[in-house]
Amino acid sequence: MDVVDTTVRGVYMVGGPKQMAPVVLLTDETGRIMPVFVGHSEAMSIHIALRKETTPRPMTHDLIVIMLEELGGSVKSVLVDDLDEGTFYARLVIDVQDTQKEIDARPSDCIAIAVRTGAPIQVRENLFNQVAIESSELEGVSSLDEYITTDQS
């Protein structure tokens, strides 16, 4: 199976003023972009991990990583391998007790875990080619930071 190695370019918001949606942009080595729409909580989780910020208590994806490590496992990679009716499918590939296991999971959860562990994020090549866009095709995309307000008092 041929795969494309990707990196997370960032978490962004797209859409109009009344309906903004979070999107994670994955890029390959040539600069092509694969947009993956995610939920708001997953977007924040990925954003926090990309910024290497910590929270006072472990968030769900932090807890998953901690549990896996405490049980002697590790994340080997993430594979985004299918698209059906607008929904991406992914697998979290883990090593546990000298055995590799693939767990079906949402791409957003897989990406949040991969960012925390440094695991590679791969996309099936034919899928990436099907959905990839050039950066010039990005319209109405703005950084998630523009939508996050923090109380600095």
72-117 pLDDT, tens digit per residue, is 999 999 999 999 999 999 999 999 988 999 999 999 999 999 999 9
107-151 pLDDT, tens digit per residue, is 999 999 999 999 999 999 999 999 998 776 776 676 666 666 544
Show the beta-strand stretches assigned E in 28-71: 33-37
Model-wide pTM > 0.75: yes
pLDDT band (50, 70, 90) for residue 27: very high
User: What is the rounded distance in angstroms from the CA atom of residue 1 to the CA atom of residue 79?
Assistant: 11
Q: Which domains does the chain have, with CATH numbers?
A: 3-147 (3.10.690.10)
Do 43 and 24 meet the contact criterion of CB atoms below 8 Å apart?
yes
